[in-house]
Every structure is written in structure tokens, then in C-alpha cells.
Amino acid sequence: MSHFHPWIDGSIVGLYLLGTMIAGVWVRRYVSKVEHFLVAGREMNLYLGIASLAATEFGIITCMYAAEAGYTKGFAGATPGICQALAMLVIGLTGFCVKPLRASGAMTLPELFEKRFGNRVRWLAGVVIVLGGLLNMGVFLKIGGDFLCAVCGWDPGYLVPVMGGLLLLVAIYTILGGMLSVLVTDFLQFVIMSTGLLLVTLLILHHIGWDRLEEAVRANHGEGGFNPLANPQMGWSYLAFQILGNGAATLTWQTTISRLLSARDAVTGQKIYVRTSFFFVCRWLVPVLWGVAALVLLGPAKEGEPTLMAMPQFLATFLPIGLMGLMVAAMLAADMSTDSSYMLGWGSVIYNDILAPFRKGKWPEARAIRWNRFIVALIGIYLFVFGLLYEIQGDVWSYLLLSGSVYLSSMSVLLIACCYWKRANSWGAFGAILGGALVPILFLSFEKMASTAAWANDFGKDNAGIAAFAAAATGMIVGSLIKPKKSDSVAS
Amino acid sequence: MSTFWHLLVWSCVVWYGTVTLLVAVRGWKDIVAMLRRLRDGEE
């Protein structure tokens, strides 16, 4: 029986939603140019950047898959967070790729690629980014709805109207205010989300205590619950894929780099990366701790029981009235900031890069903003339809990383080659895009077909992800080397 | 390894708590400054 109180907790949630909507809709008056809509006029400063990046990269789905990792793998489940934090710290300190990217003045990655590889590569890169991103984002809504229904004790029949209503609210302020609304609401959402996450974590540490948490992990997972290399579900291939995937995400994930591109300058962008880096440890370890707490109080899952739902079931009966409302508001804040940034992030690529060949000359600002709003609305409709239909096979994080690697692999190879390899050219770019996209798409298709599902399961998502990076890098090197140089062509 | 995770959990709580307070104050100032610059730019 959930402790969610309709009046007390419901009022806290209602107040949060009202505040967010007022703030989000109010700043629309500052949007007069397409640059305001997509990158907030490049006026974002350091602390707002930290709030926005942190809020965007933590959604209900993040909390669910990280808590599932804690429940099924113990503390070792937080390994991806450490990989991403290290990647972000190193990239922020060195400016690797992100410095030339911000200095180029581009609004999206494909816009930078056009300068080196031509307009066809820009268009194709845009398609791959949107395909990978939307496939990834498509599962957010259903998992968020499952969480809310479990925590609040609602009938699963409420999932569609509740998540549909939430999506509508997010769509309204994102469509009206673009990146400006996203930044302002992200700030509010960061404060509420962080307060809720910290209070629940402190309550767990106080009521359950470290000794019981450690004991449960040791009893259920042994040394593998603390050391990823000793865990039979993880090992070297898991670690290698996490390092590759999280490094590539830090360099190329549209919602992450859009914070860099919205920053006032390259130095501010790098500072945002450095100072947000440790958040990525918290982003994983806090929900992992919640998952371990679920293991203490609920025990291990029985055969066929969904491990994803253990953490929300635990929270439903663990949190007292009042804190329950704050936690639900925190999770809604986390989800709304993620949804709005993702809608705008992929929308900006569709407008800026995929539609680029169809725009004759520069569009008037009002028309450009109207199109961007239309695209964001279409993404909202897609999310609503696809998000409630698709069923994930296996654990959620591996699915997200694999579907994301449709573009992470090829785009990271393209970006590194674009910035640092003089021989890189358009043939290499096409080769990298083809190689990087083909492997994850084939793997996801094999996983869905009855005749090949067993083979796909044996091969594993981690190996498929590593293979995608290897295919992208091979495509870039081979393609670039076999394309005749201009001087050779002229001579021949 | 258990001590490593124990220390990391408390580091997260302390760091996250501090950053939340800092960002709540300085982030608000950033928003006001950003909107002022955008308004001045329009004028």
C-alpha cells in the first residue's frame, strides 16, 4: 500500500507543476530569433549551465535503470557513472574536441561536419543523430509512467492519461520558449530534484544504515557487488563498452553538447563540463543506493519478477507522507527537464541539418521559430505514440546505450577525425556513419526476430556496442584512405 | 572495495548538497543576467 497522500503529497506536486509552467511560459517573451530558441542566444553562464546539464541528464528513466543496476549488480552497478564522470572531467580540462566545436560557432554537430566533409555528410549525420536519439528517447514515457503508478499506488490504467498530461505540459513551455524556457525550468527542476534526491538518500542511510546495505550486497552478489570485474554480469567487455559509450556521449550527445554550444564562450563551456563531472557519479550512485536499499527490504527478485520495479515498490512503502510528495515532485522535475531538453535537442538537428537542403536562402526569424515549434510538437506526438508501445528486451541501460550507439559510435569518430585527422574526408565520414549505424540496428533487429534472438543474446549488447565503435573507426580509416586525393585525380 | 563505495556515497551526499545550495543562489543570478542581456540586445 503506497504512502502517497492525495491531498498533502498531491498539493506539493501541484504546486511544483504550477510554478514550472508559470516560469516556462513567462520567458517566451524573450524569444525573437531562432538563435534564442535553439541556444538561448548563447548567453548561458556557468551555474545555470551546471543546473541545466545536471537536470537534463537525470530523468525518471535514469533513476530507474541505475536503481535496477544497484538491485541486480550491487554497488558495482554504479560503474558507468564513474566512467562518465572521468570522461567529462578529462574532456572539460583538456578541451578535447569541445574547444574547436564551440569555437566553430556551429549550433549542432552536423553543422560542424559540413565545413570539413560537405553538405551530404551534414544531412546524413543529422538523420543518424535523430534516428538514434529518438529511438533512445522513445522508452522514457512508459518507464516514467510505470514508476509513478508504482510509487503513488495508482492503477496502471492511469499511465496513459498521466504521462500524456505531463508530456503536454512540457510540450507547451518548450514549444513557446525553446531553450530559454528549458534553461529556466531546468534551474527550478534542478533545485527541487536535488533536494528530493538528497533527502531520500539521507533517510535511507539513517534508517537502514551502511552495514545492512553492505551486508545485503555481499550476501546476494558477493565480491561482484563491489568490483565490476568480479561480477559475472559485467566484466571487461562491459567496462570497455561503458568507457567508449560514456566518452562518446560526453563528446557528441546532442543534449549534452547543446549546453556547451549555449555557453557564453568555450572557456565557460569547459568549466561547465569540469564542475558538473562529479554529478555523474551522484547521478548513478544515488539511485544505485536506492536499489540496494530495495534489496535489503524486499529481498532478491523471484524468477520472472521485473527487477526494474523493485525500487519504486520499495519507495512506495518506505517514504513518509510529505516526503513522498517531495520525492514525486523531484522525479517529475527530473523527467520534465529531460523530456524538454531532448525534444528541443533532436528538434534542433531536424531543423538545422535535415531540413537545411530544403530551405532556399535564410528564412525570416518568425518563420524559422514557427518551424522549430512545429518540429518540437511532432516529436511530442511521436513520444506519446512510440513511448507507450515499445517493449524493451533485457535491462534498460544496455538498451539505451546500444540504441544510442547508433550515432554515438559514428559521430564520435567523425568529430575526432574532423578536429584532429588531416586525411579524414567525406568517404571516410560515410564509411563511419554506415559502419556505426549498421551494427546496432542489425543487433536490435536480430534481438526481435525469433530465429536470431538466441544468437543475439549470446553475443550480448556490450560486444555489439564495442563492434559498432570498431566498425565506425574502420569505416573512417578505410574510406578516407581509399578516396583519391584531388592532386592525384588531376594528375591521373 | 566496500570502504571505497562507502566513502564515495558520503562524498556524493556532501558534494551534491553543497553544489545544490551554490547553484540555487548563483544560478538564479545567472538567469536574471541572461534575461537582462537578451532584453538589452533587443533594445
Task: Give the residue on A whose Cα is nearest the Cα of B40.
Answer: A30
Pick A148 or A3 by higher pLDDT: A148
Chain A residues with beta carbon closer than 8 angstroms to that of B6: 210, 214
Do residue B5 and residue A226 have CB atoms under 8 angstroms apart? yes
Grid coordinates standing for A121?
Answer: 555528410
CA atoms within 13 A on the CB side of A285: 26
pLDDT at A489 over 60: no
Cα angle, residue A361 at apex, residues A359 and A365 outer, rounded to 5° = 80
Query: What is the reported pLDDT for A488?
Result: 44
Nearest to A40 among B17, B20, B34 (CB): B34
Question: Is B8 in contact with A281 (Cβ distance < 8 A)?
Answer: yes
CB contact under 8 A, A191 and B2: no
Q: Is the pLDDT of residue A388 over 80?
A: no
pLDDT one-digit tens code per residue, B12-36? 999 999 999 999 999 999 999 999 9
Give me the mean pLDDT over the A36-50 stretch. 86
pTM of the model: 0.89
Q: Is some CB atom of chain A closer than 8 A to the CB atom of B40? A: no
Rounded to a whole number of angstroms, the distance from the CA of A239 to the nearest CA of chain B is 17
Looking at the predicted structure, is the pLDDT value of residue A492 above 60?
no
CA distance B39 to chain A (A): 7
DSSP A59-127: -HHHHHHHHHHHHHHGGGGGHHHHHHHHHHHHHHHH-TTHHHHHHTT-SSHHHHHHHHH-HHHHHHHHH
A121 pLDDT above the threshold of 80? yes
CB distance B38–A201 less than 8 Å? Answer: no
Q: Average model confidence (pLDDT) for chain A?
A: 89
Q: How large a percentage of chain A has pLDDT more than 70?
A: 96
Q: Output the pLDDT for position A140.
A: 82
Chain A environment of B24 (Cβ under 8 Å): 191
Q: Left (φ > 0), alpha (ψ -120 to 50) or beta: where does A303 sit? A: beta
Is the model's pLDDT at A52 over the cut of 70? yes
Q: By C-alpha distance, which of A443, A404, A418 is closest to A129?
A: A404
Q: Do A183 and B8 touch (CB under 8 A)?
A: no
Q: Which among B19, B16, B8, B36 has a CA at the least distance from the CA of A47?
A: B19
Nearest CA of chain A to the CA of B9: how many Å? 7
**Mean local confidence (pLDDT), A429-439:** 91
Q: At residue A339, does pLDDT exceed 70?
A: yes
Is B4 an interface residue toward A (CB < 8 Å)? yes
pLDDT band at A491 (very low <50, low <70, confident <90, very high): very low
The ipTM assigned to this model is 0.94
Which chain B residues touch A210 with a CB distance below 8 Å?
6, 9
- Mean pLDDT to the nearest integer, A54-68: 91
- A144 or A359, which is more confident? A144
Q: How far is CA A315 from CA A197, A325, A408, in A?
A: 12, 12, 34
The mean pLDDT value for A416-443 works out to 92
The pLDDT score that the predictor gives to residue A450 is: 86
Question: What is the pLDDT, as a whole number, of residue A282?
Answer: 96
What residue has cell string 571505497?
Answer: B4
Asked if A226 reaches chain B (Cβ–Cβ under 8 Å), the answer is yes
Residues 9-38 of chain B whose Cβ lies under 8 A from any Cβ of chain A: 9, 11-13, 15-17, 19-20, 22-24, 26-31, 33-35, 37-38
Between chain A and chain B, the number of residue pairs with CB atoms below 8 A apart is 100
Q: Do the chains contact at B22 and A51, CB–CB below 8 Å?
A: no
From residue A91, give the alpha-carbon distance in Å to each of A235, A251, A260, A387, A433.
25, 8, 12, 33, 23
Mean per-residue pLDDT for A302-310?
86
pLDDT value of residue A135: 78
Burial code (b: 16+ CB inside 10 Å, e: under 16) for A186-224 equals bbbbbbbbbbbbbebbebbbeebeeeebbebbeebbeeb
Of all residues in chain A, the percent with pLDDT exceeding 90 is 53
Residue ranges of A 4-23 with Cβ closer than 8 A to chain B: none
Measured in angstroms, the CA of A483 and the nearest CA of chain B are apart by: 47
Residue A155's pLDDT band (cuts 50, 70, 90): confident
List pLDDT tens digits, range A92-116. Answer: 999 999 999 988 888 889 999 999 9
Residue A341 has pLDDT above 70, yes or no: yes
- d(CA B36, nearest CA chain A) in Å: 10
Q: What would the pLDDT profile of A1-12 be if each residue is shown by its tens digit?
A: 777 888 888 899
Question: Which chain A residue has the Cα nearest residue B13?
Answer: A198
Taking a C-beta distance cutoff of 8 angstroms, is the pair A429, A416 a contact? no
Are B39 and A210 in contact (CB < 8 Å)?
Answer: no
Least confident of A66-75, A236-245, A392-401, A416-425: A392-401
